Structure 1
Amino acid sequence: MGDPNEKRKRMSCALEINNPVNLLQTLHSVCADGYHFIVTNLAHPMNCRDLTDKEPTKIIGRTDRVLQSVDWSKLIVGKISRAYEVDNEIEHIRESEKLLLKQELGFASHLVLPAIMIKLQQGQNRNLAHILYNKFQLGVPFQVWVQMPIRKASSPFVQKSDNDESWETWNDFRRIANYHKKLGIVLELPKLDQLPSKESLERWCGEPVKALILHTSHFIPNPHNQPVLPKVYQEIIKLFMALDVQYVIQGPSTKFSYNQYYSYMNFLGKKLYENTVFNEFSLGCEDFLQNPLQPLSEHLEASVYEIFEKDPIKYIEYQNAIRRALEDMPQSLECVVIMVVGAGRGPLVQAVLNASYLTQRKVRVYAVEKNPYAINTLEERIQNEWQGLVTLIHQDMRICRPPEDADILVSELLGSFGDNELSPECLDGAQRFLKPNGISIPESYTSFLAPLQSTKLHNEIVNGRLHDKPAYTMYETPYVVHFVNAYQIAPSQPLFTFKHPNREERIVNERVKSVKFRAPQNCVLTGFAGYFETVLYKEVMLSINPQTHSPNMVSWFPILFPLAEPIQITSGAMIDVTFWRAENEEKVWYEWCLNSPVRGSIYNPNGRSYFIKK
């Protein structure tokens, strides 16, 4: 038995067994070997079914009595017995095949299977998609797992890249079925000489991949004569582990026992798992849609403060920035006045005191906070931890009147998109009590944007519609999301920048900018990911932008700006989008509009669906 505290990824594995003689005995044996379920044929080949006969056979497959219903519904994934030619151009073949397929689908519903696996017969599968989509509308209990090679072998008759052919077949199929949430994909790992490109693998990560199929021929013996996978297969598995996919072992056990294959997969769950601070923190948040915070109009709860304070990186960097700023203060200044605006429960106040101790600079600290419940905590810390070094101001920073001006203004008012929690408006109000040569920490921040493919998030938004609101509301609301089942189509680009203090005569925080991205391959655009970078002081910075992400920082997840309909993107196409940051006396909001490859309309006009209250 392994250490129960050992960090590992649970590797849910299945064994594919075609036509077992005794299904119950096989299930017991497979479970004893460690597997979690089996994949097997729905219809038994001994039953020749011709539903066009006057008196067709009534037997489809095994009787449902061979297993209890709980086992059918949890431990069996049914394979459609063959690729039915429901898209055949010859009518009588097409109709005959359709009857047989519908019979198997009906049998799968009768057994209440969790999923069925089906192969696509050809490049165009419109009738098959039509049949399945109509079944989904009727509310079948099972998911449909479409079995596809991760990359098809090259063909002289195919004009497009062979990296694209398999994905194109899948993409065409699921488009007809309207990207339905019950439609998933099972990818067959290729031979070593047919590995897909890195870009192709990343695109598959934006698809609803349910399982990977590993053939027993993929495994090789190690020096201890145990099955192992070559390094390239391990890298593919590691890439998909974040999606929580399952694994199907397929093929004969000629070299090793099936138990050995499972034991090795279980070992990979430990070997490939990255036990990082970020992974631990984000566990359970994968692809979960959250509403952005509104800290100006709503008081943050203790649990929210607690999450922020657990970040191991943010406050170290803030402390470094404050330390550098203190070192740059003139030595003639006997006592440096530092104002922490939006003090929360005090982590930035503590960072100020730490920096003061490290630099041996005398400081006078003011903590400005409007939340009465956070004030309760600050009062306790002033009395018991900070030995009277901190003065508390219980007011909104935009209207408060401190007893003196500050040399350094410190804040952490940033959201996932930088300015989306109204840091510009707050700091513009607070800078009136910053000395003319005073320092703001942060000194600037920039939002970044990137095109995204994620049909999972698209379906989450579609299915999360509130029935008391118009349909457009769900697409005009940004969501804070930890992206996992997603593919970022192109590198992010800067959008809006704000600098502090802002000494311009007329301060305007409205913005508009268009950005363009080039798609490296065919894909589907479902929305835009938002990030930010901030310069705290000089070279000290924090970032959630993927290109510059601060290692192990966990305080912020990215933000998602959805599109109402997935947009087909061809390789080399230009994705052009315009974003607005707009405001009036009561609120701030974003609007966005896709300009190409198709011309869209403006989302969230006048902040009708989403805004940040001032």
Structure 2
Amino acid sequence: MNPTSPEFSNETRPFFCIGNHDSKRHETLSNDDYGSILMSGFNFVTTPITNDFFRKRIAALVSGHLTKGDSEDVPIVTPLTTIDTTLFPSASASGMVGYASSWIDLCSKNPIIASVSRQILNLEISYANFVGLRSVIVAGPGVDNDTSGTSQAIAQYARAIHEALNVAARMNIVIHMPMYREPGLDDVTANLADLEAAKSSSKVDDGPAQVELFGAWDAWNQIRTASKYCNRLGVALRLPAILPEKDLQNRWFAEPLQYLTLGPKTFSRNKAGHPSLTKYHQELISKYMTLKNEPYLLLYDVGLESSGPLPNPAIELDATSTAVENSDCPTPQEAASMTTTAKSQVQPAVKQNSHVSYMRHVEMQQPPLSYLEVSALSNFQDYLQSPLQPLSDNLDSQTYEIFEKDPVKYIQYEKAITMALHEWSHQRKPTSSPRGAVVIAVVGSGRGPLVTRALNASAATGVAVEVWAIEKNPNAYVYLLRENETIWQDRVTVVRTDMRAWKGPVLNSEAVESEKAEPKYGKVDIMISELLGSFGDNELSPECLDGIQHVLAPHGISIPQSYTAHVTPISTPKIHTDISVKAAAGDKKAFNTPWVVRLFAHDYVVAKGVPYHPRFQRAWEFKHPLPPTAAQAIETKRGYGTAGGCGGAMVASAGLNDHNIRYCHLTFVCRARGVIHGLAGYFESTLYEKTIGIKKDPEDQEFDGDDDIIAEKVELSILPDQVDKKNKDMISWFPIFFPLKQPLYYPADTELEVSMWRQTDDSKVWYEWQIDAFTWVGTATRIKVGGSDLCTSRTVACMM
């Protein structure tokens, strides 16, 4: 995709879908009241499921049982009646978001209160599901394990949520969690516990106020783990007045955010007395809005005062918009799609809530989405794709076309070819063509984009070339023939064969065609390929290039010359949930598959800036062409080995591909506690490198090797901290993800040790990986606190 193309010329900004929640609202809004709130600028509204009469009835029930003093006699909450709720099936109700009673106490140490609270939650969830609500927000636990001193409270809460998810099998449940327990901030998600007779029994003594930044996240992690990462469980994240460190912000970014909630104390007042947010809050909202399923904004307890006219930007009325004067009230999704113009056309005299007005101002200040964030690419956010097997599968034209839409990659390739040809000419190196041209072979040509780039490089340098296009795909071969006729003007020789079976350029083609002589095969000067996968070697580039190296001249060049694989542990709940869904649906290989995925909603849990332990670490490297000694060793094995022999590292293998086995053991440091769902894999490649000089240090009398060489490189990289430096806006490769079947939880100040293997048995290639967590308990003592199973992709190995 070209960022300069017209499809990216329109400035697109994320749309804010803003909801209203009033913690003191005890009745469901009437259609008129609901419409009035929508007209004041909100897109959706929350509704209580039960009313104040129901709360008082439960208070009397609990008080009576507590008076008896028999904790074994747990009261039963009777079903709802018409006096317990004002929520009934209607057009307006179906467009609201339910909010479960926040006065219940699922964390209570008192078994009576805990049981009654759980019964109430199940009653409300079940009734909301009957009414037609699509989701219900539940107030999160009022304590964390850190502050309560015991895990009982969170364990009870987690179990209650797991049960509620089973009560309504199609409803989404959203837990209202603070980003962290900010001292002095009224917590609307805390247990109000205004059951008068039960206050002394349910209240937890937190002691002195403490700030444990990751405590709330830790509680959330325990809740969703108990529910087995259910994809109907989400988070409503309450933004604090003072934002925490970026590590915690990034941790929540990886979670399934449904709502960002902002209360009166989240806002400050500007000089004019209007609500405003700090620039840090605005930046955080901007980041969270880049998610494909961006969270809704829920303003709570901000009142319904109006301030100023509703903005009327020149936006066309969306076809899905409906006027509120029609009795059919919109759902949150429909309300979100109703543009501000549509709303102003419905009721021009309506004035907007001051907080909403300010949020619309923030919305207009959002930076336009980059071309990497538009729908064409955002649809790939955290979307699982099986890795390609180009050796065993023939790709279709659409797949090739997707690859070819990235101009950055091919610009880099053309630079590398141009540099190689220029240096070839400058050094007066011999050529393998009798006509004096540099022989170029594009192996695995696909539809020929690299062939075009090679011809462009020849024209730019003035170096004559003889180009061969080698492709095994019979369908792509037909396309290449047509390109040669219509675009390349018959300057390319197209050969249909597996590159490993190609014997090289035919030197006496005319004699062979007239059947006067047997073919004589020459050598190739420059071999070009784009066989790299997301992990560099995962699409068997090493095996393919090894198999064709016999046609490369002794002075020949490979483009790429080398590539390295890199890994880092990550937390990615969404991807783990998606893989779990596949596994539950019967895909037994789901957790054994290294998935190609555009990682987005994830957290790099590894600390930055730790000496000798960077966030992204190199696993291994491959170089081409192989050194002559290594190539000779392979030929020796090929001559003496037998199929099914036991000479290789793997049982029943001859060991012909053992030189491509790799192993790494890496140590990563994590400062804050967290959870690991797998390894993210990346690659870097040097397409071509030339030496342009040697460092001259007057005090250095000796040549020290690589450190003294000044080189110019043409590189490709998908490493997050390098991609903008080396090939900005390149989109050809998404990272690879190696999953863990069971998430690995680790405490603060942990060292994660990653062991990884690239294995082969001469017929296929696969990976194995394992993560262990260690923590120091003394200056010289380290203990293991967790570890994963040994994971393997052998059942989905890449066939050679």
Per the TM alignment, residue 231 of structure 1 is displaced from its structure 2 partner at its CA by 1.0
Counterpart CA distance in 2 for 1:371 and 1:160 is: 65
Counterpart CA distance in 2 for 1:601 and 1:217 is: 46
Secondary structure of the 1:461 match is: helix
Question: Which one of the candidate residues 412, 415, 421 is aligned to 2:533?
Answer: 415
Counterpart residue number, 1:583: 760
- Size of the aligned set, in residue pairs, is 602
**Runs (5+) with no aligned partner, structure 1:** none
Counterpart CA distance in 2 for 1:297 and 1:270 is: 50
Counterpart CA distance in 1 for 2:259 and 2:244 is: 17
Query: For the Cα contact (< 8 Å) 1:84–1:121, is it kept in 2?
Result: no
Instruction: Trace 1:219-368 onto structure 2 (pairs within 5 A).
Output: 219=267, 228-243=276-291, 244-250=294-300, 251-254=302-305, 256=307, 258-259=352-353, 261-262=355-356, 264-266=358-360, 268-269=362-363, 271-280=365-374, 281-331=376-426, 332=428, 334-368=436-470
**Two-structure CA RMSD over aligned residues (Å):** 2.6
Counterpart CA distance in 1 for 2:102 and 2:626 is: 68
Counterpart CA distance in 2 for 1:581 and 1:48 is: 61
Counterpart CA distance in 2 for 1:261 and 1:375 is: 62
**Runs (5+) with no aligned partner, structure 2:** 1-7, 65-75, 145-152, 185-205, 308-350, 431-435, 506-521, 607-614, 635-658, 690-712, 775-785
Secondary structure of the 1:162 match is: coil
Query: For the Cα contact (< 8 Å) 2:53–2:84, is it kept in 1?
Result: no
Per the TM alignment, residue 154 of structure 1 is displaced from its structure 2 partner at its CA by 4.9
Q: Residues 157 and 516 of structure 1: is their aligned pair in 2 closer, same or farther, counting only changes over 3 Å? A: farther
Instruction: Trace 1:534-553 onto structure 2 (pairs within 5 A).
Output: 534-538=685-689, 539-549=713-723, 550-553=727-730
Per the TM alignment, residue 592 of structure 1 is displaced from its structure 2 partner at its CA by 1.3
Secondary structure of the 1:277 match is: coil
Query: For the Cα contact (< 8 Å) 1:282–1:482, is it kept in 2?
Result: no
Secondary structure of the 2:393 match is: coil
Counterpart residue number, 1:428: 546
Counterpart residue number, 2:219: 169
AA at the equivalent of 1:64: F
Per the TM alignment, residue 178 of structure 1 is displaced from its structure 2 partner at its CA by 3.0
Counterpart residue number, 1:479: 595
Counterpart CA distance in 1 for 2:27 and 2:584 is: 47
Per the TM alignment, residue 179 of structure 1 is displaced from its structure 2 partner at its CA by 2.8
Secondary structure of the 1:291 match is: coil
Question: Which one of the candidate residues 113, 121, 125 is aligned to 2:154?
Answer: 125
Q: Residues 465 and 107 of structure 1: is their aligned pair in 2 closer, same or farther, counting only changes over 3 Å? A: same
Counterpart residue number, 2:647: none
Secondary structure of the 2:599 match is: coil
Counterpart CA distance in 2 for 1:402 and 1:478 is: 35
Secondary structure of the 1:413 match is: coil
Secondary structure of the 1:213 match is: strand
Secondary structure of the 2:415 match is: helix
Counterpart residue number, 1:528: 679
Counterpart CA distance in 2 for 1:260 and 1:369 is: 64
Secondary structure of the 1:321 match is: helix
Query: For the Cα contact (< 8 Å) 1:83–1:121, is it kept in 2?
Result: no
Query: For the Cα contact (< 8 Å) 1:228–1:264, is it kept in 2?
Result: yes
Counterpart CA distance in 2 for 1:163 and 1:140 is: 33
The one-character-per-residue Cα deviations of 1:372-408 (angstroms, maximum 9, x if unpaired) are 1111221111111112221111111111122231211
The one-character-per-residue Cα deviations of 1:40-73 (angstroms, maximum 9, x if unpaired) are 22222244453548996733211414x23xx534
AA at the equivalent of 2:684: E
Secondary structure of the 2:121 match is: helix
Counterpart residue number, 2:170: 141
Q: Residues 96 and 387 of structure 1: is their aligned pair in 2 closer, same or farther, counting only changes over 3 Å? A: closer
Query: For the Cα contact (< 8 Å) 1:80–1:117, is it kept in 2?
Result: yes
Counterpart CA distance in 2 for 1:315 and 1:168 is: 45
Counterpart residue number, 1:26: 33
The one-character-per-residue Cα deviations of 1:287-313 (angstroms, maximum 9, x if unpaired) are 111100111110111111111111021
Per the TM alignment, residue 236 of structure 1 is displaced from its structure 2 partner at its CA by 0.8
Asked if 1:377 corresponds to 2:479, the answer is yes
Q: Residues 259 and 342 of structure 1: is their aligned pair in 2 closer, same or farther, counting only changes over 3 Å? A: farther
Secondary structure of the 2:115 match is: helix
Counterpart residue number, 1:593: 770
Secondary structure of the 1:329 match is: helix
Query: For the Cα contact (< 8 Å) 1:83–1:118, is it kept in 2?
Result: no
Per the TM alignment, residue 602 of structure 1 is displaced from its structure 2 partner at its CA by 1.9
Q: Residues 454 and 512 of structure 1: is their aligned pair in 2 closer, same or farther, counting only changes over 3 Å? A: same
The one-character-per-residue Cα deviations of 1:91-146 (angstroms, maximum 9, x if unpaired) are 33333333333322222222232211122233223223212212323443321211
Counterpart CA distance in 1 for 2:364 and 2:40 is: 19
Instruction: Trace 1:361-510 onto structure 2 (pairs within 5 A).
Output: 361-403=463-505, 404-465=522-583, 470=588, 473-490=589-606, 491-503=615-627, 504=630, 505-506=632-633, 508-510=659-661
Counterpart CA distance in 2 for 1:4 and 1:112 is: 41
Moved more, 44-53 or 438-447: 44-53
Query: For the Cα contact (< 8 Å) 2:77–2:120, is it kept in 1?
Result: no
Query: For the Cα contact (< 8 Å) 2:161–2:223, is it kept in 1?
Result: no
Counterpart CA distance in 2 for 1:84 and 1:345 is: 64
Question: Which one of the candidate residues 749, 758, 780 is aligned to 1:572?
Answer: 749
